[in-house]
Structure 1
Amino acid sequence: MASFEVIGGTPLKGEIVPQGAKNEALQILCAVLLTAEPVTISNIPDIRDVNKLIELLRDMGVKVGKLATDTYVFQAENINLDYLDTPEFVAQAGSLRGSVMILGPMLGRFGKCQLPKPGGDKIGRRPLDTHFLGLEKMGGKLTLEGTDFYRIAAPNGLHGTYMLLDEASVTGTANIMMAAVLAEGITTIYNAACEPYLQQLCKMLVRMGAKINGIGSNLLTIEGVASLGGTEHRMLPDMIEIGSFIGLAAMTGSEILIKDCQIPELGLIPDTFRKLGIQLEFRGDDIFVPAQDHYEIATYLDGSILTVSDHTWPGFTPDLLSIVLVVATQAKGTVLIHQKMFESRLFFVDKLIDMGAQVILCDPHRATVIGLDRRNALRGITMSSPDIRAGVALLIAALSAEGRSVIENVEQIDRGYQFIDKRLNALGAQIRRL
């Protein structure tokens, strides 16, 4: 198990380019299963979760060719369906949350799929009901073996239907949509997720020959086609990494230029950080964060305390609430962080309290942060990364703290952030991988 040794308290300076989007990659890579023709994908992040998914696809029979550091060509011409019944597949898919995204493509193209309960962050309940309910409405028949192995088949083929999703699940919408593009007839999905990454998947599928209307809205209409062809696709920059770099700059008093951000796709992310008092300057498609000695949290017009909460898109993404919480610890003012979707995501605040932060964990979903306004720097401690986003939030805290910190279990961070230690060291950080 690897660790980061961090010497904090030093401002950073320079330019950094965000990686390709992790959450988009997990959907886009599984979409190659929908066609026997080659699909070329660029701006793929070199991170553990994505690399493990590529390995899984290769072992399933997908031909994988690496054209450049971030560019691959995939061809799912000969899929080995028998591999899905092997212990090797169970071990691979069970260790990776993104493996759930093979359900829709496999059911749509081959009429069946099986999957162990997927792994991923331990951030609370993450049920798959929305995925299976949608696939069942199109004709899939689900069989549960034990408590952690699923089989679904469509012996009579998939048929278009109307469905109202019980939640606007991003991965659930993607899975249902990837099955629907090859189903017979018209499928209407209401309360669909509409994140930019899902819009990217829609646009890619349309280039492959799919017929999808309502892209960017919560009402998708999909007319099934007999087959799909190949295409080329370039992924968006990772909005979570962009938000992490904004928070890092503010927390450490650094001057950072974040390059090639696709700013129109960031939604409320820039405005939410501005509510924390962080100055941002758009320079074309780059975001410049100047060094600030102080930043002050806004209040509502009536003077009441600001609440930052997660919402389905176009609301604020839950993946950045951990970053916002950490950044608020050195702001001037008070903010209530309300994490609605996952009940275990705020439990890392005990480590911030040990570092000297003033945080009250109200319940599993809410925490109140009383900013220190840099009067007292955080102090370095030894801690462990519980999940991807909390891990980077703790790394940001360590970089702002006085003295030496050790962050254990950094494999969690590696799952979502590409060479984060090397890239931040290039800006002047002092991070050593142990």
Structure 2
Amino acid sequence: MACFEVIGGNKLKGEIIPQGAKNEALQILCAVLLTSEPVTISNVPDIRDVNKLIEILASLGVKVEKKDAATYTFIADDINLDYLKTEQYAAQGRALRGSVMIMGPMLARFGVCALPKPGGDKIGRRPMDTHFNGLKKLGATFNYDSQDSFFQITAPNKLKGTYMLLDEASVTGTANIVMGAVLAEGTTTIYNAACEPYLQQLCKMLLRMGAKISGVGSNLLVIEGVEKLGGTDHRMLPDMIEIGSFIGLAGMTGSEITIKNAQIQELGIIPDTFRRLGIQMEFRGDDIYIPAQDSYEIDTYIDGSILTIADAIWPGFTPDLISVALVTATQAKGTVLIHQKMFESRLFFVDKLIDMGAQIILCDPHRATVIGHNRQVPLRGIKMTSPDIRAGVALLIAALSAEGKSIIDNVEQIDRGYQYIDKRLNAIGADIRRL
């Protein structure tokens, strides 16, 4: 198990390019299963979760050609359905929650899929009912073996379009249903659909492949099934979670950073949320420039009451940046209530920040009040463990701002979502050693 040794207190300076979007990649890569023709995808992040998914696709029989460091061509013209019955697949699928995304494409094109109960971050309950119920409405049948935690899924007859109102606007659930519906017979209407930029990217890619989808960008999608899809080229967006992480890092460490090619129009309220925490920034074309700040002050509501930052479905603030917003507030001037609505275990990392000297009251599993130090009292380096991807990078930001040395164990969690994060931050002045 690897760890980071971090010497805090350095001010960073320079340019950094965000990686391709992890959450988009897990959908886009599975969509290659919908066609036998070549699909070329660029700006693919070199991170653990994405690489594991590419391994699963290759084991399924997808021909994978790496064109350069971030570009792949996939040809799914000879899929080995027997692989779904192997111990290798069981092990690979359980190691990656993103493996759930193969269900829609496999059922749409081949009428069969299997799914081991997937892994992923331990951030609370993450039911897959939206995936299953949506695909059931299209005609799939599910059988669950509790002995080996395995789902066997079939579509004895071709999937058929229908109307459905999703119980929650799940991004991955919507994506799975969309990928099932594009090859189904008839018309599928999905109400309360997710409309995140990553889901929009998937729909735009499917449209180029020959799908018929209307309502892209809204919560009402209408999909007219087609007989087959063709190949395409697709470039993934930069990772909005990484961009938000860099904004928080710059503010907390008093650093001058330029985030290049940020696709600002796709970031929603992320920049404004960090502005409300006091972080100054300028948009220079498609780059975000964050100047060095000696201090930053948390905004209040118009009546002077304490600001609340809460996660919400798009176009609200993404839950994946709640951890970063929380840690950024610890050195701000002022007080903020952080409300993590979606996952009940995601705030449990704050005990590490309290050990570092942060003033945080954990009100309950979903809410924490942060009283900022206004840089009057620096955090102190400690030994800690990364519990999940997003908390891990929040702890890394805390360590980079802290006085002295920190050790962060289990950095494989950070590697699941952040590409070469130690090397890229060291290039602009950080002091991180991978042990």
TM range (shorter): over 0.9
Q: Which residue of 2 aligns with 1:80?
A: 80
* Partner in structure 1 of residue 146 of structure 2: 146
- In the alignment, which residue of structure 1 is the partner of 2:237? 236
Aligned residue for 2:361, secondary structure, equals strand
Cα deviation for residue 160 of structure 1 reads: 0.4
| Whole-Å separation in 2 of the counterparts to 1:76 and 1:270 | 39
Give the residue type in structure 2 aligned to 1:62: V
Normalising to structure 2: TM-score of the pair? 0.99
Structure 1 counterpart of 2:21: 21
Aligned to 1:338: 339
**How many angstroms does 1:151 deviate by?**
1.2
Secondary structure, counterpart of 1:392 in structure 2: helix
User: Match of 2:364, as an amino acid?
Assistant: D
**2:89 maps to which residue?**
89
1:49 is aligned to 2:66: no
What amino acid sits opposite 1:20 in the alignment? G
Identical amino acids, percent of aligned pairs: 78
CA-to-aligned-CA distance 1:390-419 (integer Å, 9 cap, x gap): 000000000000000000000000000000
Distance 1:154 1:14 in 2: 53
* DSSP 3-state at the match of 1:368: strand
Shifted more, 84-93 versus 139-148: the winner is 139-148
- After superposition, residues 24-423 of structure 1 pair within 5 angstroms as 24-146=24-146, 148-423=149-424
Inter-partner Cα distance in structure 1 for 2:308 and 2:293: 23
- CA distance in structure 2 between the aligned counterparts of 1:382 and 1:14, rounded to whole angstroms: 28
Q: Distance in 1 between matches of 2:270 and 2:60?
A: 37
Q: SS state of the match for residue 151, structure 1?
A: strand
* Partners of 2:266 and 2:10 in 1: CA distance: 31
Q: What residue identity is the alignment partner of 1:244?
A: S
The letter of the residue matching 1:85 is: K
Tell me, what secondary structure is at the counterpart of 2:241? helix
- Deviation track 1:235-285 (CA, whole Å, cap 9, x = no partner) reads 000000000000000000000000000000000000000000110100000
Gaps of 5+ in 2: none
Q: Letter of the aligned partner of 2:49 in structure 1?
A: D
For residues 282-320 of structure 1, the C-alpha deviation after alignment (integer angstroms, 9 at most, x for no partner) is 000000000000000000001110000000000000000
Deviation at 1:326, TM superposition (A): 0.1
After TM superposition, give the deviation of residue 367 of structure 1 in Å: 0.4
**Matches of 1:134 and 1:97, distance apart in 2:** 18
Query: What is the CA deviation profile of residues 316-340 of structure 1, one whole-angstrom value per residue up to 9, with x for unaligned ones?
Result: 0000000000000000000000000
Query: How far did 1:112 drift?
Result: 1.0
Q: 1:109 is aligned with what amino acid?
A: R
Query: What's the Cα RMSD here?
Result: 0.5
Q: What secondary structure is seen at the aligned counterpart in 2 of 1:28?
A: helix
- C-alpha distance in 1 between matches for 2:301 and 2:218: 29
Deviations 1:348-376 (A, max 9, x none): 00000000000000000000000000010
1:77-104 deviation line (CA, Å, top 9, x unaligned): 0000000000000000000011000000
Letter matched to residue 194 of structure 1: C
- Distance in 2 (CA, whole Å) between partners of 1:360 and 1:209 is 52
CA distance in 1, matches of 2:144, 2:56: 22
Give the drift of 1:180: 0.1
Partner-residue secondary structure (3-state), 1:133: helix
**Structure 1 segments of 4 or more deviating over 2 A?**
none
Give the letter aligned to residue 78 of structure 2.
N
Partner Cα distance (1:346, 1:11) in 2: 27
Quote the offset at 1:121 in angstroms.
Answer: 0.4
- What's the CA shift for 1:157? 1.3
Q: For the residues of structure 1 that align with 2:287 and 2:313, how far apart are their CA atoms?
A: 25
Residue identity opposite 2:15 in structure 1: E
SS in structure 2 opposite 1:402?
coil
**Counterparts of 2:411 and 2:236, CA distance in 1:** 25
Partner Cα distance (2:135, 2:152) in 1: 12
> How many residues end up aligned between the 2 structures?
434
Q: For 1:127-178, what per-residue CA distance to the aligned partner results, in whole angstroms no more than 9, with x for missing partners?
A: 0100000000011111111162111111011110000000000000000000
Cα distance in 2 for partners of 1:57, 1:410 equals 25
Q: Match of 1:371, as an amino acid? A: G
Counterpart-to-counterpart distance in 1, 2:261 and 2:217: 22
State the alpha-carbon separation in 2 of the partners of residues 427 and 124 from structure 1.
35
